[in-house]
Structure 1
Amino acid sequence: MKLSKPIAEKVTKEMMKIIPFNINLMDEKGLIIGSGDKKRVGTLHKGASKVIATKSIHEIYTEGDGMKPGVNEPIVINGEIIGVIGITGDPDEVRPFSKLVGAAAKLLIEQESISKKAQNDRIKRETFYHELTYRKTSYDEEFLQQGKMYGIDLTRNCQAILIKGNFHSKEMKAFLDHFRHYSTIDNSKRVLFITEHSSFKEVITNLIGRKEIEKIAIGEKEGFAAISHEQAANALSVGVKIRPSEKVYYYHHLKLFIHLASNHTEFPSSILSVLESLGNNQELFHTLQIYMEENGDIIKAADKLNIHRNTLNYRLEKIRNLTGKNPKVILELFELICSIIWLSE
Structure 2
Amino acid sequence: MLDKFMHEWLYVSDYDVPVANNGFDGRAKMNGVDLDVKYLAMVVSSVTNLPEWRLAFDLDKNNRVYVMRPKQESKFLTSLPKETSVGIGKRHFDLSGSIKEALFALLLSNKFDSIVHYDEVANMYSIVHSSLDYPDVRKKLSQLDEDTQLTLWLYTKKQATLSSLAHILMVHPKTIEYRLEKIRQATQLNPKVGIDLLPLTVAYLKEKTENLGILETELQSFSDDMLPRDRTISVSLD
Once the two structures are TM-superposed, the CA of residue 236 in structure 1 deviates from its matched residue by: 1.6
Any idea what the Cα deviations from partners look like across 1:220-249, whole Å, max 9, x if unmatched? 222221111111112222x32xx6511322
Specify whether residues 301 and 144 from structure 1 end up closer, same or farther in structure 2 by C-alpha distance, changes over 3 A only: same
Asked if structure 1 preserves the Cα contact closer than 8 Å seen for 2:45 and 2:86, the reply is yes
Q: 1:275 to 1:217 in 2, by over 3 A?
A: same
Matched, 1:162 2:28: no
Q: Residues 57-89 of structure 1: CA distance to partner in whole angstroms, max 9, x if unpaired?
A: xxxxxxxxxxxxxxxxxxxxxxxxxxxxxxxxx
Aligned to 2:139: 273
Distance (Å, rounded) in 2 between the aligned partners of 1:342 and 1:324: 19
Q: In the TM superposition, what is the alpha-carbon distance from 1:271 to its structure 2 partner?
A: 0.9
What's the secondary structure of 2:65's corresponding residue?
A: strand
- Identity rate of aligned residues, in percent? 23
Give the corresponding residue for 2:188: 324
Partner of 2:179: 315
Structure-2 separation of matches of 1:125 and 1:259: 34
Residues in 1 aligned to 2:98 and 2:67: alpha-carbon distance in whole angstroms: 9
Residue type at the aligned position of 1:132: W
Task: Pick from 64, 89, 94 the counterpart of residue 224 of structure 1.
Answer: 94
Instruction: Tell me which of the two structures has the higher relative contact order, counting C-alpha pairs closer than 8 angstroms and 6 or more residues apart.
Output: 2
- The residue type paired with residue 163 of structure 1 is V
**What SS class does the counterpart of residue 267 from structure 1 fall into?**
coil
- Cα 1:298–1:266 change in 2 (3 A) is closer
Pair 1:164–1:333, CA change in 2 (3 A): same
Find the counterpart in structure 2 of residue 127 from structure 1.
Answer: 4
How far apart in 2 are the matches of 1:309 and 1:317? 12
SS in 1 for 2:33: coil
What is the aligned counterpart of 1:140 among 5, 12, 19? 19
Residue identity in the other structure for 2:40: Q
Q: TM-score, normalised by structure 2?
A: 0.73
Unaligned runs of 5+ in 1: 1-123
Match of 1:248 among 98, 103, 115: 115
Structure 2 Cα separation of the partners of residues 236 and 268 of structure 1: 23
Q: Distance in 1 between matches of 2:73 and 2:175?
A: 41
Question: Alpha-carbon deviation of 1:285?
Answer: 2.2
Show structure 2 runs of 5+ residues with no match. 212-238
Question: How far off its partner does 1:132 sit?
Answer: 2.4
Compute the displacement of 1:139 (Å): 4.4
Letter in 2 for 1:164: S
Deviation at 1:152, TM superposition (A): 0.9
Aligned Cα RMSD in Å?
A: 2.6
Q: CA deviation at 1:210?
A: 3.1
In the aligned structure 1, how far is the partner of 2:128 from the partner of 2:32? 36
- Distance apart, 1:262 and its partner CA: 0.6
In the alignment of these two chains, the number of paired residues is 205
Whole-Å separation in 2 of the counterparts to 1:213 and 1:305: 17
Q: Deviation at 1:338? A: 1.9
